[in-house]
Amino acid sequence: MADVEEKTQTPAGTQEEELNPDGTPLSDNQKKKRAKAAEKERAKAEKAAKLQQEKATKEANEVDFASQNYGELPLNQSQERHGRTYASLEEVKAENDGKPIYFSARIQTSRTPSSKFVFLTLRYGFHCVQAVLAQAPEQVSKQMTKWAAQLPSETIVQVEGTVSKVAKAIESSTVTAKDAEVKLSKIFVVSKVQPSVPQPFYVDDATRSDAEIEASQSTDRPMPGIPIDLRLDNRILDLRTTTNQAIFRIQHGVSKLFREYLENRDFVELHTPKLQGAATESGASVFKVSYFKGSAFLAQSPQLAKQMAIAADFGKVYEIGPVFRAEDSNTPRHMTEFTGLDLEVAIEEHYHEVLELLGNLFSFLFQELPKRYAREIAIVRKQFPSEDFLVPDQVVKLEFPQAVKMLREAGQEMGDYDDLSTEQERVLGRLVREKYQTDFFMLDKFPTAIRPFYTMPDPKNPNYSNSYDFFMRGQEIMSGAQRVHDADLLEKRMGEVNIPVEAMKEYVEGFRLGCPPHAGGGIGLERVVMFYLGLGNIRRASMFPRDPKRLAP
Amino acid sequence: MADVEEKTQTPAGTQEEELNPDGTPLSDNQKKKRAKAAEKERAKAEKAAKLQQEKATKEANEVDFASQNYGELPLNQSQERHGRTYASLEEVKAENDGKPIYFSARIQTSRTPSSKFVFLTLRYGFHCVQAVLAQAPEQVSKQMTKWAAQLPSETIVQVEGTVSKVAKAIESSTVTAKDAEVKLSKIFVVSKVQPSVPQPFYVDDATRSDAEIEASQSTDRPMPGIPIDLRLDNRILDLRTTTNQAIFRIQHGVSKLFREYLENRDFVELHTPKLQGAATESGASVFKVSYFKGSAFLAQSPQLAKQMAIAADFGKVYEIGPVFRAEDSNTPRHMTEFTGLDLEVAIEEHYHEVLELLGNLFSFLFQELPKRYAREIAIVRKQFPSEDFLVPDQVVKLEFPQAVKMLREAGQEMGDYDDLSTEQERVLGRLVREKYQTDFFMLDKFPTAIRPFYTMPDPKNPNYSNSYDFFMRGQEIMSGAQRVHDADLLEKRMGEVNIPVEAMKEYVEGFRLGCPPHAGGGIGLERVVMFYLGLGNIRRASMFPRDPKRLAP
């Protein structure tokens, strides 16, 4: 406003001679008339200014009858405890029409169509509701609406009001409560946001689907798309979207169901060390740590430790924890740190005991997720549309040679013992989906040459091994196998692939004092979430993702 | 035995002249008599040797009627699947008298009082049973008992037999099934142990209490004590003791109960990154990691990440995961990597909401542990005797100045705002136990000076803070506080303790876009287990412990 005013005001002391439109000077009469008109204008403006000032003074002196109903609370240092019950935003629904409600939430958006009303959308967790603050005698003053209207997005407020059924479903795509809103009577700031603090993007914008953003481009209100890097650079803000709130509750659901299934079968949960004395498994892709005067290495998986737990007679074990990969892979499905869901089981007769357990575990997961997380899945799909995840009652299991045959018939060239490329995995996923109507399948009997040294060879054909991968929507989410549990065979295999036995002495020696035959697998938690929800990038399934270029926040 | 034989044999070629007892030489007659007797002896020995050899040849040629009932199974490569049901060793109990049983287990000890019997103790998990293999027509041959008798400890066998009630309780302290044993009819080796492989100690010995070892020293069968370092160097073997099997099931129980309590209260489980871009919290005691062309640091706790999750509106969060401390502390209660049970909660009014939740969580833990893990606790106590863990119905909460007063009255010298030494913690624990009959208490209101910069000061007296520690048997197992949720106050506090804001930019900025007031805490899982069970050394509560001197196995 200051800029505009300066331009329309005539700078003092530089008064120019006025001229007629044809360029001739004004007559004295003309000058007198002009001066009189100017004087009249000045007097009018002076009067208006005086009225304005009187009004302001009056307003300032006016007792604000609502002053107890709004304002900024002091910084919460636990000064007092009233023990009042706070509601969840879920309670804002038509069936609670007329019910008083009291809760804390963030301001997502604010709109002031007239000085008499403020429309807010209030968000917490994966709920977002519409709220109205309207001037009302003895309750909501004009000072109060004016104050509320200037609160920036992301301000945390404590509000009091009444749930109110709405006649017509609320249209906004980012509001989750469609059939009711809140009529506000009190509003206090719990945690303020300075209007001067730049907001890299608005949570409301960050909640929209690509399709909605795309469609808005041809309207008079085009919506901004928020690039993933800007989101991740400001992850705390980004995580506040109802979509992200739902994604991480579903992520929690996946590990919870994994755990529930195993706990019901008497598995023991392990916490094995991430700091290792030697770079094991494979020499490459291990992070090195300065360890006092020496070095340590970060575990690439709990593989060796969970096998040692089997050699130590724990029988059925699992671990949920971080795994580290020092691979310079900058792809949508790789991270340098992710969450492994690992398990290992002593078998009695055959590794298919474990393969079946794993298949049943995933069946359980795919059965329970849509039941227990229906609301969360629906919220994620508003931003990331995906088809229902297809799983038949009977889990599909193929053997590697069958997959090679299917791929060759589909025009892919590959050797009998070649590993699948990412592209071939996708093609295979499509072929299996067409043939068996499933987005999930198990692939058994991988070639020995493309599996780690500790993989048990097939008893009949040593070119194949007792190993398997699981796939979701055509991408690998789990790898597993029967392991070599005999120290001599293990040493022989290590020799064949040039791994010095000395570096893994304790591991090999552990087997020398007897070890039950065993099999297991490792699941990438974020991959399961990513493919289940069709998020397109694994970083969206990790709260604070790490990749070769990202170590913060 | 070789040594003994050598000593009793007369070395060849050094035959000495025989003399009469009085030293005079033998007469010719005497010599003849002697020669005759010697010849007779030789002929007798020759005959015996011949008989022995004939017997051996006969045995070797003899058809072993039991040959199908024992032997070494081929390496399990999942050749076959019979789908047979394997029993748990729990089923060896008097009420199953006469029941056939089929299971896998380790040989813990083996004893052969006569060639007709082999007594074995068989162990798996935290069960150890007595088994007898006795010669019997058509079932158990003498070849079979002889073969079974030479199987080394730790051999894994698959056995078939019958549960058999015993008349008198089995005495051995390491056998857990007291009222029944197994009469074996078949025994096969699943995983062999070469007799030539040295065993650093026997699991049977490693299962005994200090008291039992001590008492045995004055008997004719003194038992060896197994030092903790020898155990940890051979941890796989050590973990096989019934005691360790029970300890890690109880450890699992602690994290399971922690999780159960929080899951029932809608907490969201986090998996936050252990790789950090900057050395945060405190500059010292952080492990540095080579990260591609730069560096990263291992998280000392999920403190910052879980607070960021609160700033991102997750409301109630927890994490169970590894935490890393680069402290060169070589004490019985420090490790460089341990398991943190962390939680953080957005509060509505007062941090005591969280303090109470934590108090109730521990009450739940102490109530449920002895109920759900009674057998495991009993097994641990056989080796590590400890008193029942004392907790009153109402959790005891003291304030810091009260603790200072109690300590001063007990003769301890300390300033008002000094931290408690380990010794003072122990004394306080003893005083509190005497006064309140509790092994667990909460200490609230720690001095601000001895808490981290992000701790919220008390609203009335800034020398104290809204922070607390929890103690078990007089030792700290949890630390927590209300945190500063205001960016300006946080920057001010960081300035006061000389932490550069730049290093924690995302963390501070996260609060600038509003953050709910919140409080939380971090529990050391292994400490809870160690103090609850009275294990005396935290390494006994960690499966594969890490300290400044130990990175393996």
CATH number of the structural domain spanning residue A433: 3.30.930.10
Distance in Å from the first CA to the final CA of chain B: 36
- The answer to whether position B58 is within a domain reads no
Please give the pLDDT value at position B3.
39
* CB–CB contact A270 B543 (8 Å): yes
Is it the case that residue A62 has pLDDT exceeding 60?
yes
B548 in contact with chain A, both atoms CB, cutoff 8 A: yes
- Tell me how close the Cα of A520 comes to any Cα of chain B, in angstroms: 14
Cα B469 from Cα B445, distance rounded (Å): 9
Q: Find how far residue A457's CA is from the centre of its chain.
A: 41
* CB–CB contact B339 A271 (8 Å): yes
Q: How confident is the model at residue A8 (pLDDT cuts 50, 70, 90)?
A: very low
Best A72, A73, A78 residue to mutate vs chain B (most B CBs within 10 Å)? A78
Q: Which domain holds residue B153?
A: 71-75+84-191
Q: Find how far residue B494's CA is from the centre of its chain.
A: 41
- The answer to whether position A227 is within a domain reads yes
The model's pTM:
0.89
Does the annotation mark B325 as catalytic? yes
A262 in contact with chain B, both atoms CB, cutoff 8 A: no
A298 in contact with chain B, both atoms CB, cutoff 8 A: yes
Please give the pLDDT value at position B49.
84
Among all residues of chain A, which has the CA nearest to that of B242? A313
User: Hey, what amino acid is at A269?
Assistant: E
- The answer to whether position B322 is within a domain reads yes
B344, B234: one domain = no
Structural domain count, chain B: 3
User: Hey, what amino acid is at A435?
Assistant: K
Q: How confident is the model at residue A220 (pLDDT cuts 50, 70, 90)?
A: very high
Bridge partners (DSSP) of residue A320 are A341
* CB–CB contact A313 B125 (8 Å): yes
State both tokens at B27: 């007469």
A177, A281: one domain = no
Chain B residues inside the 8 Å CB shell of A272: 543-544
Spell out a b/e string for A135-172, using b for 16 or more CB atoms within 10 Å of the CB, else e: beeeebbebbbebbbebbbbbbbbbebebbeeeeebee
Q: Which residues are CB-neighbours of B509 under 8 A, at least 6 positions away?
A: A236, B487
Please give the pLDDT value at position A411.
95
Give me the tens of pLDDT residue by residue for chain B, a chain 553 residues long.
333 333 333 334 444 556 676 767 777 887 788 788 888 888 888 888 888 887 777 766 778 999 999 999 999 999 999 888 899 999 999 999 999 999 999 999 999 998 899 999 999 999 999 999 999 999 999 999 999 999 999 999 999 999 999 999 999 999 999 999 999 999 999 999 999 999 999 999 999 999 999 999 999 999 999 999 999 999 999 999 999 999 999 999 999 999 999 999 999 999 999 999 987 655 568 999 999 999 999 999 999 999 999 999 999 999 999 999 999 999 999 999 999 999 999 999 999 999 999 999 999 999 999 999 999 999 999 999 999 999 999 999 999 999 999 999 999 999 999 999 999 999 999 999 999 999 999 999 999 999 999 999 999 999 999 999 999 999 999 999 999 999 999 999 999 888 888 877 778 888 999 999 999 999 999 999 999 999 999 999 999 999 999 998 8
Residues 20 to 79 of B: which have CB under 8 A from any A CB?
Answer: 75-79
Cα B242 from Cα B376, distance rounded (Å): 9
If you ran DSSP here, which 8-state letter would residue A283 be given?
Answer: S
Q: What strands lie across the sheet with B268-269, from one edge to the other?
A: B268-269, B316-324, B337-346, B518-524, B475-482, B467-472, B440-444, B396-399
B127, B254: one domain = no
How is B84-145 classified by DSSP, letter by letter? PPPPPGGG-SGGGTT-EEEEEEEEEEEE-SSTTEEEEEEEETTEEEEEEEE-BTTTB-HHHH
Best B72, B76, B248 residue to mutate vs chain A (most A CBs within 10 Å)? B76
- The answer to whether position B24 is within a domain reads no
Q: Which residues are CB-neighbours of A487 under 8 A, at least 6 positions away?
A: A508, A509, A511, A512, A515
Q: pLDDT tens digits, residue range B43-61? A: 888 888 888 887 777 766 7
A233, A156: one domain = no
- Tell me how close the Cα of A218 comes to any Cα of chain B, in angstroms: 32
Among all residues of chain A, which has the CA nearest to that of B76? A517
- The answer to whether position A41 is within a domain reads no
Does the annotation mark B476 as catalytic? yes
Please give the pLDDT value at position A280.
64
Catalytic residue among A381, A479, A546, A550: A479
Chain A residues inside the 8 Å CB shell of B324: 274-275
- The answer to whether position A302 is within a domain reads yes
Bridge partners (DSSP) of residue B191 are B156
- Tell me how close the Cα of A32 comes to any Cα of chain B, in angstroms: 60
- The answer to whether position A494 is within a domain reads yes
Please give the pLDDT value at position B280.
64
- The answer to whether position A197 is within a domain reads no
User: Hey, what amino acid is at B42?
Assistant: R
* CB–CB contact B314 A245 (8 Å): yes
B143, B272: one domain = no
- Tell me how close the Cα of A359 comes to any Cα of chain B, in angstroms: 18
Residue B164: closest CA among B139, B138, B130? B130
Candidates B192, B251, B321; nearest CB to A321 = B321
* CB–CB contact A76 B271 (8 Å): no
B89, B165: one domain = yes
Chain A residues inside the 8 Å CB shell of B514: 106, 154-156, 191-193
Residue B294 in 3-state DSSP? strand
Chain B residues inside the 8 Å CB shell of A292: 326, 328, 548
Residue B537 has a CB neighbour count (10 Å cut-off) of 14
- Tell me how close the Cα of A259 comes to any Cα of chain B, in angstroms: 10
Distance in Å from the first CA to the final CA of chain A: 38
Cα A139 from Cα A156, distance rounded (Å): 21
Among all residues of chain B, which has the CA nearest to that of A189? B514
Residue with the two structure tokens 């397109």: A536
Candidates A77, A256, A272; nearest CB to B543 = A272
Candidates A193, A305, A322; nearest CB to B513 = A193
Catalytic residue among A327, A353, A368, A399: A327
B349, B394: one domain = yes
Higher pLDDT, A43 or A549: A549
Chain B residues inside the 8 Å CB shell of A542: 271
- Mean model confidence pLDDT for chain A: 92
B515 in contact with chain A, both atoms CB, cutoff 8 A: yes
Please give the pLDDT value at position B58.
72
B113, B167: one domain = yes
* Of A52-61, A128-137, B496-505, the least confident: A52-61
Among all residues of chain A, which has the CA nearest to that of B241? A312
A384, A306: one domain = yes
Chain B residues inside the 8 Å CB shell of A517: 76, 78, 190-191
B158, B139: one domain = yes
* CB–CB contact A245 B313 (8 Å): yes
User: Hey, what amino acid is at B190?
Assistant: V
Bridge partners (DSSP) of residue A19 are A25
Does the annotation mark A212 as catalytic? no
Which parts of B140-185 fold into alpha helices (H)? 142-149
For A306-336, the three-class secondary structure string (H helix, E strand, C coil) is HHHHHHCCCCEEEEEEEEECCCCCCCCCCCC
* CATH number of the domain that residue A105 is part of: 2.40.50.140
- Note whether B545 and B533 are within 8 A (CB): no
Candidates B75, B308, B485; nearest CB to A236 = B308
For residue B335, the number of C-alpha atoms closer than 13 Å in the C-beta half-sphere is 26
Residue A349 in 3-state DSSP? coil
For residue A408, the number of C-alpha atoms closer than 13 Å in the C-beta half-sphere is 10
Residues 317 to 376 of B: which have CB under 8 A from any A CB?
Answer: 320-322, 324, 326, 328, 336-337, 339, 347-352
Among all residues of chain B, which has the CA nearest to that of A104? B348
Please give the pLDDT value at position B10.
38
Cα B393 from Cα B183, distance rounded (Å): 48
Best B77, B330, B456, B515 residue to mutate vs chain A (most A CBs within 10 Å)? B77
State both tokens at A503: 């570096």
Q: pLDDT tens digits, residue range B230-286? A: 999 999 999 999 999 999 999 999 999 999 999 999 999 999 999 999 876 555 689
Chain B residues inside the 8 Å CB shell of A351: 78
Q: Which of B123, B156, B191 is the last residue of a domain?
A: B191
Best A248, A313, A327, A350 residue to mutate vs chain B (most B CBs within 10 Å)? A313
Please give the pLDDT value at position B194.
92
Among all residues of chain B, which has the CA nearest to that of A545? B273
Please give the pLDDT value at position A41.
85
B512, B491: one domain = yes
Residues 99 to 128 of A: which have CB under 8 A from any B CB?
Answer: 104, 106, 123-125
Is it the case that residue A33 has pLDDT exceeding 90?
no
A353, A458: one domain = yes
Q: Which of A212, A238, A264 is the last residue of a domain?
A: A238
Ranges assigned E (strand) in A225-371: 268-269, 275-276, 288-291, 294-298, 316-324, 337-346
* CB–CB contact B274 A274 (8 Å): yes
